[in-house]
Each structure stands twice: as structure tokens, then as C-alpha cells.
Amino acid sequence: MFSSVITFGNQQYYSLKKECQKKNELFEDPNFPASNDSLFYKTQRVQGVQWKRPKEICSDPRLFVDGISSHDLHQGQVGNCWFIAASSSLASREALWQKVIPNWKEQEWNAEKPESYAGIFHFNFWRFGQWVDVVIDDRLPTINNQLIYCHSNEKNEMWCALLEKAYAKLTGCYEALDGGNTADALVDFTGGVCEPIELSEGDYINDANKRNELFERVLKVHNRGGLISCSIKATTAADMEARLGCGLVKGHAYAVTDVKKVRLGHGLLAFFKSEKLDMIRMRNPWGEREWNGPWSDSSEEWQKVSKSERENLGVTVEDDGEFWMTFEDFCKYYTDIIMCRLINTSHLSIHKTWEESVLRGSWIRHDDPLQNRSGGCLNNKIAFLQNPQFVFDVKKPEDEVLVCLQQKTKRTTQKDGKFENLAIGFEVLRVELNRKYRMHTLQAKIAGSTYINSRSVFQRMELKEGRYVIVPTTFESGKTGDFLLRVFTDVPSNCCELTLDEPRKTCWSGMCGFPQLVSQVHVLSATGLKQQDSQGGADPYVIIGSEGAKVQSPVLKDTLSPQFDVKGLFYRKKPGQPIIIQVWNHNVVKDEFMGQVVLAGDPNNQQTQHSIPLQDKSNKANPQVSGSIQLVLLTSNSLTGI
């Protein structure tokens, strides 16, 4: 995940540092100068800013003082609690922050070799499928010799201020960090995928089973190294950063710093007692103003927990912005939680390994419907299928599938102002098992994301075995932009873009014939099957064939009335030839024929539903073959009609 890194602005950190050391001068970044252009894109909110190097702010600057901690960060005079919350989460994960702050020991101040210091730092962020190395100089904005933006508890600790500057450079300026999205920062720090959950919509406070299931998911994400943030939605401008009676702040991003099942009781009683409490720990980026309800720092509830357990949890009676809550209270007061999953694709890991497909695409506006790729959402029924289409397979009877769609944002500049994201989303449709050309007729919608103007949208789905098409779209038609699609499955999904509308015409087409008709066969079910296996049932599957091409359904276990719900698509050169549908019983040694239906060629456009008796392979009545099959046949003279 961290293998390749590209440079931002074509600035090579080691080359620039070596050049500065050779000239015996400190680096000054021409791409992000110490000026108002780097502070503001719209209004000059702060007056009298002086840019100072760390040596001018304190006598003994350090990247880290006593290591790195979630407690190091404090928000400054820009509304980026979302970024500070994400940074607090990052600080708790050594394997992650060492990727974001690469070679930190080499970047640290060296008192024994002061001549090696060149006033240059670099940080890595994940952007649109790639890790980007961002170089900055060490000049930081101050007033009265105090850092005005993100700063640490210790005046001489600089990592958080420098990290914030690098991120401000990546986004355009410091003001561009005002009012951002925690999920974006979490993804930029990890390359993971973010799953937002609206606690207020899911009724988790009243449904104990749903709440317990959610806690297990949160615990799993935390234990596997993921980053988590939460907030209380502010519905009005007056609600923003309004403090509730319980001490929590509305419209404010909190970092989740720990998730535990806390054992209640003392001594041996606690060891043998199975009672545990689902708990979650958070931190306010302001470094103060904590939860004051049950299980707050000095509450009497902590007497139910042994001293050793409290020490293990790190419970302190300090107004440091960090506090514990029960997960039930958490679901009662918080409205949103964001879980950034680190998707493990290493087959050497003991944890679940995902198969990842990463594809890039674009929404392109064109007057020709067959070339237009900006059709908008399903509200635009005529143009919806003019969007890009991506096909993938689920190869297990049922599989958990994660889909993440991310749009490519433009860099904020003073000239362009703050760029607004497009409202984006995607739909997932179930298609024929052999679909390899673009859809031109809507098929069954299986799942879909919400449409939102965030940088990325995410959906977790349980899908049955079959073939599916993802249609990523903007909400409005005619919008243009680039996007990144990431699909995660348990086994390889062969995800790829559908680019052709119909089979290609080649020099062989004239000799071998070009398809004249496209037919879609949808087998719904079979009933009355009599042939049984030794267990008294059958394991049927269906094969649909036309002109040598075949589609085979998954095997259904132990049923004499299978619900196949399987489709095949055939481009036919000889419309007069029949389509043959066969039902077989799966056997470990040798599969057994159960009956077939032969559909005569039909060149007319029609949609018909049949319930046809099964026959033997010679199409004659046979007492050994019984039952019938229900199917839908759809034919079209237009090759791009289905």
C-alpha cells in the first residue's frame, strides 16, 4: 500500500536538502511562500502574522518531545478540528504515522550536527490512489512569537505544526482547511476506505442488538489498526461548537483513541466474573472540555473497576480533552461515526485478506448518447446508463463486498476560490452471468450509495454469487470530472470497465457472420423435479446455451424447486437457431441430466414469460423427466438494445 511515492510539485526532498547543505543556507519553498497567499484564499482573517523558523520561536526545537502522542495536538485559529481529530488518531498508530512522517529520525534536529539542518521537511499523503511526498520549509505563521495554528503542549515540539503546514500546502492554503471532512484526512493518512455511519438514523440507542453488532465492528476496526472519528451534528449555525450540558460540543470532530470491553469488579471476583462493559475513549482536539456524565474522569462509576484495570486503561483526572464513555451513552449523544478501515491485501497476514481492484474513470460530457459518459443519477432515467459502467463477479455463494468511489478534487487557489465537490454516488445492478458489453436497458438494482458532495462515498454489501455492474455517477447530468473506483472482495472479482456497446466488427465478421439479434434469457425457477440423490433431494443448476455459447448458474443445494433467477445474454448470428435451457443435478462423480427446454428462434422484438414442461435431450416426453421451468425471453433487433 505504501510502495510507490510520487513528488508533489516536482520537488525532490533529498535533492533540495543536499543543495541547501552545500550552499550552507536554509530552504525557502517557492511553491508555498511565507506570504498571505499561503494563508488565505478568500479573506485575510488574521492580521500581523509573522513567519518564523522554529529556532526563532524557541531555543531547542524538536520534532518530537517524549515521543508522539494524541495529547500533543491543539487546534489553532482555523476551523480544522476535523484535521486535528484525524491527526490525533494517527498519532496513536506508530505504523501509520511513520509512513506519513517518513524517516523521522533523519528529519529530527541533531544537536551534535547543527550544520546538517537545512530547514526542510517532507510528509507523505495518499491522494487519488497514490502516495504523494510533500516538501515544505520550516517557516511557521506566528503572532507575538506564538504559533497561531496547530501547536503542541510543549512549545518546542513541532511535528504537528509542520504536518499541518504540509497538508495546507497540499490543499492550497491554511484557510482551505477551515471546515473540512475528517473522513478525507483519515484516508489521506492511511490509503484506507472510510465508512460513515449515522447513529441518529440507525436507532442504535433503542435497539440493543444493532448497538452490540456495531460495537463489535468498531472494536474490530480499532484492533486491526484503523482510525475512527465521531461528531455531534450541528443543525444550525448557532449550534456550531455549542457546548451541551453533558460537556460535549456540537459540530465538532472528536478522535476515537481506544475501544475496549472493560471488566467490572475487583480482585479474583473480577477475574472470574464475566460481566464486561462496552467502552469507547475519545479526545477533544481543543485539549479541554470533556464529557461530564457517567464514567467521566472523576465519576464514581470508576469505583466498579479495579485499580489495575484503571491503570491499564490510562484513566486520569485531568482536563486534557480525553475521556471514556459507555458505548450506549456514545450512541445516545453522538450522531455520526466514521470508521477508516485499513484494507489488508497481504496474503501473508493472519487477518482477513481482501482482493482489491482499483480503476480510474471520468465523467465526460458529449452530444452523442453512445459517447456521453455524464448521464447523472437514476432520476435521469433516459441518460443514466450513459455513465461509465464497471462489471465484477462474486464467486462465492455469498460475499461481503466493499465499494469506494472517490472523485478527484481540484487544488484550491486564491484565484479560483475554494473548490466545491460534485455530488457523487453509485448504483449496483445485477446483470447476466456472461455480460461483457455495456447495458442499454435498466436491470435489477441490488444496492447503491447515498449521493453526497463529499470527496468519497462508501458502501458495504452482502451480495450473492453472480455478475454485477457498478454505475458511478454524479447526481446531476452533464457534470464532468475524474474518479477512482475501488472494489474489495474475498476472492478476485475480475473487475473491469465495460467500454464496448456491441461486438466489434472485424475483417472476420464478413466471413463468419456478424450478430443479427441479441437475446436475453432469464430463467426464474424450476418446479416439480423428481430426480433425487441419495439424501432425498437434488443439487440442481441450469445451463443456457445458444450457438455454442453457454452460461451456467451456481449450484443450489438440496432442493427440488430451485429459484435460479439467472440470466444469460446471447449475440446471435443465426436467429433461427434455438436456445436450449438444461437443468442438471450436480454430482461429485458425474452430473445427472434432469431435463431441458428448447426455445425456437424468434426474430421479433418481444418479452414473453413461459412455464414450459421439461423434456429429455431428444425433446420427447419421457417418464423419467418431470417438472417445468419458468423463464422470461427478451429479444431485440438492435444490438445495443439490451
252 catalytically annotated: yes
Contact at 8 Å (CB) between 96 and 227? yes
Selecting among 74, 252, 440, 522, the annotated active-site residue is 252
Q: Which three cell numbers stand for residue 308?
A: 489495575
State residue 592 phi and psi, 5-degree precision.
-115, 135
Q: Does an H or E element contain 223, and which?
A: helix 208-223
Give CA 367 to chain center in angstroms: 32
Which residues, 6+ apart, have CB-to-CB distance to 65 below 8 Å? Answer: 152, 154, 156, 157
284 catalytically annotated: yes
CB atoms closer than 10 angstroms to residue 522: 21
Contact at 8 Å (CB) between 355 and 489? yes
Q: Which amino acid is at 283?
A: R
Selecting among 20, 74, 80, 81, the annotated active-site residue is 81
Report DSSP letters for 621-639, one per residue: --TT---EEEEEEEEESST
Angstrom distance (rounded) from CA 326 to CA 343: 28
State residue 200 phi and psi, 5-degree precision.
-70, -25
151 catalytically annotated: no
Angstrom distance (rounded) from CA 159 to CA 73: 9
111-117 long-range contacts, Cβ below 8 Å, gap at least 24? 115/21, 115/24, 116/21, 117/26
Selecting among 284, 380, 387, 585, the annotated active-site residue is 284
Place of cell 504515522: 97
Strand partners, 429: 445, 469
Contact at 8 Å (CB) between 521 and 582? no
Angstrom distance (rounded) from CA 280 to CA 211: 13
Q: Which three cell numbers stand for residue 127?
A: 491522494
**Residues identified as active-site:** 81, 252, 284
